[in-house]
């Protein structure tokens, strides 16, 4: 089977696994997110519309919401940044964000499952997640630019 068809049937299987109807916009958004990590909504729109000019902005918004609700896509929103989307879900990985340029990279969870921090007092709550974001300065921004 050609690569493109194999990827498409793979994405179709992902949609069917969560009982979502297979539609062209859903396949296009999943394909864009498979190739580009931590992209914001505007980037997803331009990636999708480059291949499928007929897909509207609103359709992309709707698809992102449906895929996120279904758990196929993870939405992350570091404080002060626009929401980003990725298809790496279910592994409780964390993100490292550059304060200067906003670059985001994945950091595998040292513990591997949620919650990976223990609350000093759980106040009787059943805690299932600790939201961890690492902030810092990326190597590019830390190196003084020679002009
Ligand atoms: Zn940076
Ligand atoms: Zn990530
Ligand atoms: Zn962790």
- pLDDT of 79 strictly over 80: yes
With pLDDT > 70 as the criterion, what percentage of the chain qualifies? 98
For residue 69, the CA-to-ligand 3 centroid distance in Å is: 22
- Measured CA to CA, the distance from residue 109 to residue 61 in angstroms comes to 29
Instruction: Please list all protein residues whose beta carbon sits less than 5 angstroms from ligand 2, which is an ion.
Output: 86, 106
pLDDT in tens, 51-74: 999 999 999 999 999 999 999 999
- What would the DSSP string read from start to end of 13-55? HHHHHTT----HHHHHHHHHHHHSSSEEHHHHHHHHHHH-TTS
pTM: 0.86
pLDDT in tens, 84-100: 999 999 888 999 999 99
For residue 91, the CA-to-ligand 2 centroid distance in Å is: 10
- Measured CA to CA, the distance from residue 65 to residue 67 in angstroms comes to 6
Average pLDDT score over residue span 33-42? 94
pLDDT in tens, 103-140: 999 999 999 888 999 999 999 999 999 989 999 999 99
For residue 133, the CA-to-ligand 1 centroid distance in Å is: 15
User: Ligand nearest 105 Cα, by number?
Assistant: 2
């Amino acid at each position: 089977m050609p690569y493109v068809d194999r990827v498409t049937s793979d994405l179709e299987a992902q949609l069917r696994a969560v009982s979502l109807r297979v539609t062209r916009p859903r396949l296009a958004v999943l394909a864009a997110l498979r190739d580009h990590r931590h992209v914001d909504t505007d980037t997803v729109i331009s990636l999708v519309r480059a291949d499928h000019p007929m897909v509207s902005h609103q359709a992309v918004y709707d698809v992102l919401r449906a895929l996120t609700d279904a758990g196929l896509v993870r939405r992350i929103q570091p404080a002060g940044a626009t929401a980003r989307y990725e298809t790496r879900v279910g592994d409780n990985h964390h993100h490292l964000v550059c304060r200067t340029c906003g670059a985001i990279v994945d950091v595998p969870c040292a513990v591997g499952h949620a919650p990976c921090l223990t609350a000093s007092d759980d106040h009787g709550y059943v805690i299932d997640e600790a939201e961890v974001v690492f902030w810092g300065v990326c190597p590019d921004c830390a190196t003084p630019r020679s002009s």
